[in-house]
Chains A and B, each alone.
Chain A
């Protein structure tokens, strides 16, 4: 069975600094996808970035990038130049091309300090 681990329950970061949110995963399937979501206080789950297991390059979307280290089974989210609006819960998730369901980590609460 696949598993996602987020070891940072909470983080405080100064505004304009870069922040790295950790995510490690475990799966026996060679074909999988990794996702990051942002959940602000409103509750909606906002898709941020996706990385496929066979993608050669790290995914980037604006200020978000995914540091994909396949051998280490890690998929850390990097937010550059953090903003106050980045304060939210962040969830890492994975799915695979077999019969495994979409699996989430426990989340990291990020607080940006002015």
Chain B
């Protein structure tokens, strides 16, 4: 069965520091991968999605970037974090519009 791993679960980082959140998927190949951000009590904001290795679509211009170095690995990065980058980040994978599952999420606090 398919599983999705996202880490870390919680992260506190100072302003100006770099960020790297990793998401890996097991049990499937060539999934569509997504990064979402969720402000407290709000809906999901799509940040990036990828339909294949090296292919990244950015939904919102911002301080973040994403990369997909391997088929089942999706990384969210920032060179210098801003206070406004705080939030709950969710990775998701989707298979052919019939399956879509999420990682456990990362709660990022920028201080």
Chain A residues within 8 Å of B, Cβ to Cβ: 31-33, 35, 37, 43-45, 47, 50, 52, 91, 93, 95-97, 99, 101-107, 109
Contacts and interface: CB of A to CB of B under 8 A. Distances in A.
Contacts of B107: 43
Contacts of A31: 97
Interface of B: 32, 34, 36, 38, 41, 43-44, 46, 49, 51, 57, 88, 90, 92, 94, 96-102, 104-105, 107
Contacts of A47: 100-102
Nearest to A103: B46
Given A33-B97, A43-B107, A101 B49 contact: yes
Contacts of B49: 101-102
A103 B32 CA distance: 13
B97 A43 contact: no
B23 to A, nearest CB: 13
- Which 9 pairs between the two chains have the least Cβ-Cβ distance? A45-B102, A95-B97, A33-B97, A106-B43, A43-B105, A104-B44, A97-B97, A102-B94, A101-B49
Contacts of B104: 43-44
B100 A102 contact: yes
A109 B83 CA distance: 27
B98 A101 contact: no
Contacts of A35: 100
A95 B88 CA distance: 22
Nearest to A99: B51
A106 B44 CA distance: 7
